[in-house]
A and B are shown apart, each in its own frame.
Chain A
Amino acid sequence: NAGVTQTPKFQVLKTGQSMTLQCAQDMNHNSMYWYRQDPGMGLRLIYYSASEGTTDKGEVPNGYNVSRLNKREFSLRLESAAPSQTSVYFCASAIGGYEQFFGPGTRLTVL
């Protein structure tokens, strides 16, 4: 099992460009999550999907959209990237109320 995979690992964007971060899990988990990690801020929840077909906002959703494509895949889209979105993005998955498992992260720089 690969667990949680994320692509790309690194990305540099110019202000105003768009991109989609991809996440997939092979653990048959119902719930999937997107976090961002900034220095000294810990991990903050952007969006989550409790099950296929549902998505909900987290703590910091502004500037992002998500799609739960199927049970395995949960993507995060930046429509018009801003320097404030420079961060490390982590995807995670879980079975209901149990522990979350994280992917390796995508390091995004917006110039």
Chain B
Amino acid sequence: GQQLNQSPQSMFIQEGEDVSMNCTSSSIFNTWLWYKQDPGEGPVLLIALYKAGELTSNGRLTAQFGITRKDSFLNISASIPSDVGIYFCAGQGKVGSNYKLTFGKGTLLTVNP
């Protein structure tokens, strides 16, 4: 099946620093999604990317859909303590007439105040 390689697995940074994480795949995806999960909660959608090469921002977050459609990155600028959590990338592909997401294993972000 399809697999996503998400890196890094974890990051420990100081408040105010910028963060970058990425996902790569051996398969092509039609859509790339980035989710954040807080402890004890479900994943919450941060950014959705629908077009190869697309660069999208949501506040301090910026994400890009790679030109090859096999990768995506997420940047967080000027990190704050509430950015702590697990960030997941997900690639969406069409299987027959159905749409399915494949998730990376997540990047655990810790922000030191």
Q: CB within 8 Å of B: which residues of A? A: 4, 31, 33, 40-45, 48, 50, 56, 58-59, 90, 94, 96-105
Contacts and interface: CB of A to CB of B under 8 A. Distances in A.
A102 B44 contact: yes
B106 to A, nearest CB: 6
Given A43-B43, A102-B43, A97 B92 contact: yes
B43 A97 contact: no
Given A48-B98, A59-B1, A97-B30, A105 B41 contact: yes
Given A42-B105, A59-B1, A104 B42 contact: yes
The 8 A-B residue pairs whose C-beta atoms are closest, nearest first, are: A102-B42, A42-B105, A97-B99, A42-B103, A43-B103, A50-B98, A99-B48, A102-B43
A41 B94 CA distance: 22
A45 B99 contact: no
A95 to B, nearest CB: 10
B65 to A, nearest CB: 14
Nearest to B2: A59
27 contacts: A4-B42, A31-B98, A42-B103, A42-B104, A43-B88, A43-B103, A45-B101, A48-B100, A50-B97, A50-B98, A50-B99, A59-B1, A94-B99, A96-B99, A97-B92, A97-B94, A97-B99, A98-B31, A98-B48, A100-B33, A100-B45, A101-B45, A102-B35, A102-B42, A103-B42, A104-B42, A105-B42
B4 to A, nearest CB: 8
A88 to B, nearest CB: 9
A104 B39 CA distance: 11
Given A56-B98, A99-B48, 14 more contacts: A40-B105, A41-B105, A50-B98, A90-B42, A94-B99, A97-B31, A97-B92, A97-B94, A97-B99, A98-B48, A99-B31, A99-B45, A103-B42, A105-B41
